[in-house]
Amino acid sequence: MQRPIDAATYFASGHVATSVSRDGNFIDNYLRGQGEQRRVQVVCAAFSQVPWMVAGLTRLALMHERLARELAPWLGLLIQEPPFPLPVMREMMRLHSALKMDRGLASLCERLQAVAGAGEQILRTVET
């Protein structure tokens, strides 16, 4: 069993990050607010690319747990908790009221709710 990673090792290590906008990403914006910064070596445009950028290397990545657990056996990934508490990430979907009868979007909302898990406040409808 691997010992947990400490903060000094975490921040000194090379990282793979995901960024889908010019505003950075959720975790790096959070860390910057805490006075910390990861040493990002690779930036991926899609979350699904991240596991292949760390496989067989000493780089670290903070990624979706479900994806990591699914690919860990095939790529030899080691999964560990980060050395700091993570903020809650809220993902939202906003629809204009003119689209509320769109069956495709309704289906997408239902699928997102199912994947998000039971027992959590998943959807709040706000009409604009």
Question: What are the boundaries of each domain within the chain?
Answer: 7-75, 90-128
pLDDT-based confidence at residue 117 (cuts at 50, 70, 90): low
Query: How far is residue 33's CA from residue 4's CA, in Å, rounded to a whole number?
Result: 24
Query: How far is residue 83's CA from residue 92's CA, in Å, rounded to a whole number?
Result: 27
Query: How far is residue 24's CA from residue 119's CA, in Å, rounded to a whole number?
Result: 30
pLDDT-based confidence at residue 125 (cuts at 50, 70, 90): very low
Q: Reply yes or no on whether the pLDDT at 16 is more than 90.
A: yes
Q: Reply yes or no on whether the pLDDT at 128 is more than 70.
A: no
Helices and strands (H, E) in the chain, number of each type? 5, 3
Q: Do the bridges between strand 60-61 and strand 39-44 make them parallel or antiparallel, or are there none, so unpaired?
A: unpaired
Q: Reply yes or no on whether the pLDDT at 65 is more than 70.
A: yes
Fold of 7-75: D-Maltodextrin-Binding Protein; domain 2 (3.40.190)
